[in-house]
């Protein structure tokens, strides 16, 4: 199977994880790096040995089939549309966009051109989450009834070298961390039917405690504590909280409750982790992971899956339709908070196909 040639647009903090993980997937050929700040692309080029080029040159190169869009959230749609206009498939960092209508334009543009659109997160393809999916599909917990999903911390200004964008339009805990949780929940339970939520902003500014911007004051434009309930089309109801305002907590990332038992699902920001199961008559026990991609950071797995799907003609798993649904769900929390009413979710993507158990690293089917 011939390799798929990929050009990267955006060489910020997350790009290193993608470029390291790319070496695990023979289907991928990363041929160019670019950034609106040329020095950023040149630095990654020196680190990984991939040529640095201008953004315009990467988009214009007829040999490049896919653009890996690692720009900041507010630029995802703009860069994605430029890539589609240039005839390229696109795989984007999350979220798909910061505005639902703009994200719809991106989805529609890709469909009109017969091009693939994919999006992070792809951690739901990790071994722990695929094994948890198999547990649900095999009926281990019985009919799913409900669950909980929590990400709570004091804020990214504690560790990120340039955290300002987390508090501007397109940031906040829901659009930053929510994609991991909502995507994994859709993988486990299917699409969401409605959302009821409350979104609050506790401070108008944040003070950076990480280097090199320690002491800088950051304006806060978005809600920093978002909580509510997801009702799935299957009938399951999941309580969810995403927050940059919580000093400490003891909640596990995800729990699922079924008529026959309960399942602890590990942090959906990672590919691995320990799954646990318990029932009314059986205490918690570990569930062995049966799927690949649980032993490291494979943060390019969704793109590799899309690249193989391009070659074989099958649907790809981390799809634009899935990412659009996740964005609609996340934005519904703010809408529900503003209106004081539950919000119906219109999109209904198919659950992504599960990965087979027993794959070797680099395999996807």
Tens of pLDDT, residues 261-291? 999 999 999 999 999 999 999 999 999 999 9
- Alpha helices (H) in the chain, listed in sequence order: 15-22, 38-48, 55-60, 76-85, 100-113, 127-137, 172-189, 301-312, 320-339
Q: Range of 179's domain?
A: 125-287
* Residue 252 three-state SS: coil
In a domain, 310, yes or no: no
Strand partners, 111: none
**CB distance 280 to 260 below 8 Å:** no
Tokens of 317: 């798993």
Domain final position from 287, 309, 332: 287
Cα distance between residue 198 and residue 223, in whole Å: 9
Tokens of 126: 């990790």
Run of H or E residues at 158? none
* CA distances for 276 relative to 146, 219, 295, 327, angstroms: 16, 41, 17, 29
3-state secondary structure of 175: helix
Half-sphere exposure of 340 (CA within 13 A, CB side): 0
Q: 63, 86, 119: which is the final residue of a domain?
A: 119
For residues 115 and 129, state if they share a domain.
Answer: no
pTM higher than the cut 0.85: yes
Q: For 205-249, what is each residue's pLDDT tens digit? A: 999 999 999 999 999 999 999 999 999 999 999 999 999 999 999
138 assigned to some structural domain: yes
145 CB-contact burial (10 Å; exposed 0-12 / middle 13-18 / buried 19+): middle
Over pLDDT 90: what percentage of the chain? 97
Q: Is the pLDDT of residue 165 over 90?
A: no
Q: What is the pLDDT of residue 185?
A: 98
Span 57-105, pLDDT tens digits: 999 999 999 999 999 989 999 999 999 999 999 999 999 999 999 999 9
Four-CA torsion 82, 347, 148, 153, nearest 10 degrees: 20
Please determine, for residue 1, whether its predicted confidence score (pLDDT) is greater than 90. no
What is the total count of domains within the chain? 2
Beta-carbon-side half-sphere exposure of residue 305 (alpha carbons within 13 Å) = 29
In this structure, the chain runs to a length of 365
> What tokens appear for 343 in the block?
């919000």
Q: Examine the domain organization and report whether 106 and 166 are in the same domain.
A: no
- CATH at residue 222: 3.30.360.10
* pLDDT at position 21 over 90: yes
- Long-range CB contacts for residues 49-52, cutoff 8 Å, separation at least 24: 50/8, 50/19
């Amino acid at each position: 199977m011939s390799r798929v040639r990929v050009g990267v647009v955006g060489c910020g903090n997350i790009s290193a994880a993608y470029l390291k993980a790319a070496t695990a997937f023979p289907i991928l050929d990363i041929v160019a790096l670019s950034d609106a700040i040329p020095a950023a692309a040149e630095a990654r080029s020196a680190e990984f040995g991939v040529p640095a080029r201008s953004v315009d040159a990467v988009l214009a190169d007829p040999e490049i089939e896919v653009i890996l869009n690692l720009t900041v959230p507010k630029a995802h749609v703009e860069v994605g549309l430029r890539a589609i206009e240039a005839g390229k498939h696109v795989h984007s960092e999350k979220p798909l966009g910061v505005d639902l209508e703009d994200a719809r334009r991106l989805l529609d543009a890709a469909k009109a051109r017969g091009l693939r659109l994919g999006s992070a997160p792809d951690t739901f393809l990790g071994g722990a989450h695929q094994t948890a999916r198999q547990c649900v599909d095999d009926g281990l917990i019985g009919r799913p009834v409900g669950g909980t999903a929590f990400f709570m911390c004091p804020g990214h200004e504690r560790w990120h070298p340039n955290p300002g964008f987390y508090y501007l339009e397109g940031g906040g805990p829901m659009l930053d961390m929510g994609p991991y949780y909502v995507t994994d929940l859709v993988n486990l339970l299917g699409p969401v039917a409605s959302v009821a939520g409350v979104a609050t902003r506790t401070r108008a500014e944040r003070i950076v405690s990480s280097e090199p911007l320690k002491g800088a004051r950051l304006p806060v434009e978005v809600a920093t504590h978002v909580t509510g309930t997801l009702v799935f089309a299957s009938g399951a109801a999941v309580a969810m909280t995403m927050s940059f305002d919580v000093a400490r907590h003891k909640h596990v990332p995800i729990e699922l409750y079924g008529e026959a038992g309960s399942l602890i699902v590990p942090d959906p920001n990672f590919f691995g982790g320990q799954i646990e199961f318990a029932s009314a008559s059986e205490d918690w026990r570990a569930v062995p992971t049966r799927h690949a991609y649980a032993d490291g950071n494979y943060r390019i797995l969704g793109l590799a899956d899309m690249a193989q799907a391009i070659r074989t003609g099958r649907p790809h798993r981390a799809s634009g339709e899935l990412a659009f649904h996740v964005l609609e769900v996340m934005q519904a929390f703010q809408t529900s908070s503003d209106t004081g009413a539950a919000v119906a979710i219109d999109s209904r993507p198919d659950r992504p196909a599960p990965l087979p158990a027993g794959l070797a690293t680099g395999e996807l089917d």
